[in-house]
């Protein structure tokens, strides 16, 4: 991660990768990455990361998501070409959008085929030598705090099929106000009078720095529908099908088609969770964690 965009992460835990994949091996162990990691967030401008993305994708078989980054748009585009296919909690912990250099956010507007300016004709032409690259998926924290509702709508209108709802929730989700721990840091959960609208949020103690969220995923679904006015099916797919597509497991997750894992959530008409099935078995206090 870029130290300037570390968010609630501890500075002492951040590192660079000047030796490429060898540094990832030293930090995590390549076997651990292959066996236990589905995808990871990395800042492509950090020393060694951009060049290592293809190895992480091809050798370790994990997805790479761009985030906690101050990358320019050119660097973000190269990371995307190198195999990074996700943006971690879009708009948060990254360079703000600028019309001359939109940074990582600019990937929302990236065409699936590269274009170049033809000096002879004075117009845009498709670069036929550049292979087509699928557009990025992007995570959105729809708690009404991390991202303004109108900003959520802009992202959705730009690329509906790439939207992935995430909570970024920490351990206080569903718990009362009070003091909690996030790693070695103390976090206060409650009404934040120093923030616009005085929202109920989690912040690093003594600051206004958000320490993740306390929102549930079904709340994100309801908020997403309200903010974007999208159809119900698109809001549900943003919390099910799209993340499965990003992870490359849509053959068995995020779908109700024959042969898929029977992971099913039953919702009421008002989008409240009524029951949960995991691989076809009703989740109860007795069955969870077995």
Residues belonging to the active site = 168
Q: Return the SS3 of 161.
A: helix
Three-state SS across the chain?
Answer: CCHHHCCCCCHHHCCCCCCCHHHHHHHHCHHHHHHHCCEEEECCCCCCHHHHHHHHHHCCCCEEEECCECCCHHHHHHHHHCCCCEECCCCCCECCCCCCCCHHHHHHHCCCCCEEEECCCCEEEECCCCCCCCCCEEEEECCCCCCCHHHHHHHHHHCHHHEEEECCECCCCCCCCEEEEECCEEEEEEECCCCCCCCEEEEECCCCCECCECCCHHHHHHHHHHHHCCCHHHHHHCCCHHHHHHHCCCCCCCCCCCCCCCCEEEECCCCCEEEEEECCEECCCCCCCC
160 Cβ contact list (under 8 Å, min separation 6)? 230, 234
């Amino acid at each position: 991660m870029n130290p300037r965009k570390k968010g609630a992460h501890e500075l002492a835990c951040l590192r660079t990768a000047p030796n490429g994949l060898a540094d990832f091996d030293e930090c995590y162990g390549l076997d651990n990455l292959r066996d236990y990691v589905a995808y990871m967030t990395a800042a492509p401008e950090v020393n060694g990361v951009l060049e290592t993305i293809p190895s992480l994708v091809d050798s370790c078989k994990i997805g790479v998501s761009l985030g906690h980054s101050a990358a320019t748009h050119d660097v973000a585009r190269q990371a995307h070409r190198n195999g990074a296919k996700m943006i971690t909690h879009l708009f948060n912990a990254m360079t703000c959008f600028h019309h001359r250099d939109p940074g990582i956010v600019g990937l929302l507007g990236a065409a699936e085929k590269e274009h170049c300016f033809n000096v002879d004709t004075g117009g845009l032409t498709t670069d036929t030598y550049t292979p087509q690259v699928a557009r990025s998926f992007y995570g959105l924290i729809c708690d009404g705090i991390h991202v303004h509702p109108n900003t959520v709508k802009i992202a959705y209108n730009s690329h509906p099929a790439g939207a992935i709802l995430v909570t970024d929730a920490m351990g206080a989700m569903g718990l009362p106000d009070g003091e909690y721990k996030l790693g070695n840091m103390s976090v206060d959960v409650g009404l934040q009078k120093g923030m616009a609208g005085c929202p109920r949020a989690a912040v690093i103690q003594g600051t206004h720095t958000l320490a993740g969220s306390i929102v549930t995923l079904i709340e994100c679904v309801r908020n997403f529908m309200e903010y974007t006015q999208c159809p119900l099916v698109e809001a549900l797919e943003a919390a099910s099908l799209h993340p499965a597509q990003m992870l490359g497991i849509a053959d068995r997750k995020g779908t109700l088609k024959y042969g898929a894992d029977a992971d099913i959530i039953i919702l009421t008409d008002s989008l409240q969770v009524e029951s949960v099935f995991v691989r076809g078995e009703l989740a109860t206090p007795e069955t969870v964690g077995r």
